[in-house]
Structure 1
């Protein structure tokens, strides 16, 4: 009986680990995909938005914060299901975009900047994980070869690079901030925020629909352990009584 109870406890622990990993993946999977994968874009180029990780959700669409209506769909945009493509972006297309389901579930927002200038900063679209390597790249609209660039954080120069990129080998929360870059003779990019997160698994908040199953298994295991303990107590008393009768 002790072996049976131990096996049930091990199975419960394994189930919780699988559930924990599943919930964490479920949380990270739902997001807005941007193509090209950057926060800044040149005017007159094409940009696409798509919702990923919302399997089976009804009424899923890309939204944009605006004064009139929060939707990516306009007369000049092409929206097919959750995919919204802006064939020619303008400065007015700058702003916050997100995914939203028919019942109101939302992804994190992504703040897009469209510029008429000649320089943009290519930086991660979504928050990066603490400890990861991050590359910031300065892109010149008119240059066909590698350029040298200067990089700024929160308005202060942090690096002059002979290449078009700056690498942060192991990003930390202290690296969060507003970044921009400049190219001599071509101008500078707008600012975009780099966000660093310490990702933690929040299984209860994300996977609350699985709690009844886990609660049932927990109660069953506790009940089995109590039943096994009671049975062992009865058997020991019986054996003790037999020994006294000899």
Structure 2
């Protein structure tokens, strides 16, 4: 069930409820192609503002808040990555035209959701873009991941730190359990099941997603890695233009300068 969000005078935001979980979807732009944006752990759709500006001239953009993140209500229980993918799939199946090309773009934990979406609901996804894919199989524990994230934050811009702090506070007291659900998922088992064309994007200085891990991801997806010079894990938040150019180039589309 989808309803317009309250306090949204422009009618761009929809609240979708399915299987006791809530998804908040903000739609913008028009066109035959749809870009689906799925955020990482502790984040929300609000971090995608810059990327949306670059993608809007080339199609419809759907930016989501997963359950318990951003403006989406906390669910009764923390969903698994697979359940999050099924929730997004239910929304797309009910509210997006079947003949529209869908490019599913995930960042960090969002890459895990997008991977499962493509693996479990292949008819819904035409192309997959994984930006800073988690979780590196060589460092799956909470402590290694937190240590890498702390190192990555040392090279991030004030914009990333401010947006990240705001979104992490909104993620609420259950962030620890959500992190456990993220770490329990094994994306390397699902990559070979993805039939859609894919692209992996990595910030050159990303210590959360090392080069060797991203190369492994790309190999499993039968694709390549594009590195963004001078960027870290939050490459789509810090300055989305290079990532947007890589995505559009993969689609054979000429970017519109903003």
TM-score range, shorter chain: under 0.3
**TM-score normalised according to structure 2 size:** 0.23
Q: Which protein is richer in strand relative to its size?
A: 1
Q: Relative to total residues, which structure has the larger helix share, 1 or 2?
A: 2
Larger Rg: 1
